């Protein structure tokens, strides 16, 4: 195949088969790559069976989830070493290689074959996904190969928001708070500007205020993106497809990351968070829906 431009791989397909499908399309000018599953398709940042959640001091928010045993082992040494290497298109003919030996992160493999043509990437799968406020060490080398996609215009990525505070899940409080922030008559649980917030109000303001999420996403994902892509007019669109606590719902949060005159990453604009049935989000889906 030499003409395929868009591909979507979804469902319970083993990760080595996903990888080999992408490699087999090395001669195609892929523009859009969509990988969707229950587990994070770019790799597991939580450790085999989720064991790193506890060892790195992440709270019980994530360890309460079901089916963590499906999270597969990642060789952090290989991912750290090879994730930093420049991708090179293989010269030898394609031969499928199944299994998952020590190898570069999946995004590095995508870059080795398709970095020059890809404009859109979508990686959705909440289990093992990067944790926005407390990313584990393996997260950086897993995402670093994004810097090679110089024509990238949009990336969608599953991220996790922790909601456990003082041994209680605060999902309902957070969703109510987000809904209140849309209303000018809101009395959301935040302290007045002249009062230093404490306790749960402090956590809300620091981690769940929409402006705080937008700034954190910019600081988190911005350094991984191509400098040339960010410098383009309009920057790079980034959508965080957030999962949270035990609620299990998906909230979209969109930002645009660009470059300031001094070369620093800058937040060009943001929208969200928007729940699944948010009117604007639903209209966008209906108007823009294709086969994927």
Contact call for residues 130 and 143 (beta carbons, < 8 A): yes
- 194 and 92 in one domain? no
Contact call for residues 263 and 284 (beta carbons, < 8 A): no
- 187 and 52 in one domain? no
- 187 and 126 in one domain? no
Domain assignment of residue 1, yes or no: no
- 175 and 86 in one domain? no
DSSP string of 256-277, one letter each residue:
EEEE-TTS-EEEEEEEEEE-TT
The residue out of 189, 208, 227 marking a domain boundary is 208
The residue out of 208, 242, 269 marking a domain boundary is 208
- pLDDT at site 64: 64
- 194 and 88 in one domain? no
- 200 and 132 in one domain? no
- 58 and 201 in one domain? no
For residue 129, list its beta bridge partners: none
Q: Average pLDDT for residues 31-60, to the nearest whole number? A: 87
- 50 and 11 in one domain? yes
Domain assignment of residue 140, yes or no: yes
Q: Average pLDDT for residues 121-128, to the nearest whole number? A: 94
Q: pLDDT per residue over 245-276, tens digit each?
A: 665 567 899 999 999 999 999 999 999 898 76
d(CA 69, CA 243) in angstroms, rounded, equals 19
Domain assignment of residue 88, yes or no: yes
- 168 and 87 in one domain? no
Range of the domain at 174: 164-208
DSSP string of 141-153, one letter each residue:
HHHGGGGG-TT--
Count of domains for the chain: 2
Q: pLDDT per residue over 86-119, tens digit each?
A: 999 988 888 999 999 999 999 999 999 999 999 9
- 114 and 23 in one domain? yes
pLDDT at 85 exceeding the cut of 90: yes
Q: Look up residue 134 and give its two tokens.
A: 């407390």
- 89 and 141 in one domain? yes
Q: pLDDT per residue over 137-184, tens digit each?
A: 999 999 999 999 999 999 999 999 888 888 888 888 888 888 888 765
Torsion sign, CA atoms 250, 181, 270, 281:
positive
pLDDT at 191 exceeding the cut of 70: no
- 199 and 62 in one domain? no
């Amino acid at each position: 195949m030499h003409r395929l431009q868009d591909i979507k791989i979804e469902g319970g397909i083993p990760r080595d088969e996903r990888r080999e499908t992408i490699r087999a399309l090395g001669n195609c000018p892929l523009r859009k790559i969509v990988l969707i599953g229950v587990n994070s398709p770019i790799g597991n940042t939580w450790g085999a069976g989720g064991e790193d959640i506890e060892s790195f001091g992440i709270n019980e928010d994530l360890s309460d989830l079901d089916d963590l045993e499906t999270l597969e082992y990642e060789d952090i040494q290989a991912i750290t070493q090879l994730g930093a290497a420049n991708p090179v298109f293989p010269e030898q003919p394609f031969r499928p290689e199944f299994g998952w030996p020590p190898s570069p992160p999946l995004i590095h493999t995508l870059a080795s074959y398709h970095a020059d043509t890809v404009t859109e990437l979508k990686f959705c799968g909440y289990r093992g996904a990067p944790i926005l406020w407390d990313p584990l060490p393996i997260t950086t080398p897993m995402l670093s190969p994004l810097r090679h996609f110089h024509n990238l215009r949009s990336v969608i990525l599953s991220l996790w928001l922790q909601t456990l505070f003082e041994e209680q899940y605060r999902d309902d409080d957070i969703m109510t708070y987000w809904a209140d922030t849309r209303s000018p008559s809101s009395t959301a649980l935040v302290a007045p500007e002249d009062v230093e917030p404490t306790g749960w109000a402090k956590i809300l303001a620091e981690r769940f205020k929409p402006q705080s999420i937008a700034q954190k996403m910019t600081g988190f994902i911005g350094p991984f993106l191509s400098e040339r892509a960010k410098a383009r007019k309009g920057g790079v669109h980034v959508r965080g497809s957030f999962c949270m606590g035990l609620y299990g719902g998906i909230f979209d949060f969109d930002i645009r990351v660009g470059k300031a005159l001094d070369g620093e990453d800058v937040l060009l604009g943001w929208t969200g968070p928007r729940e699944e049935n948010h009117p604007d989000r639903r209209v966008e889906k209906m108007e823009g829906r294709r086969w994927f």
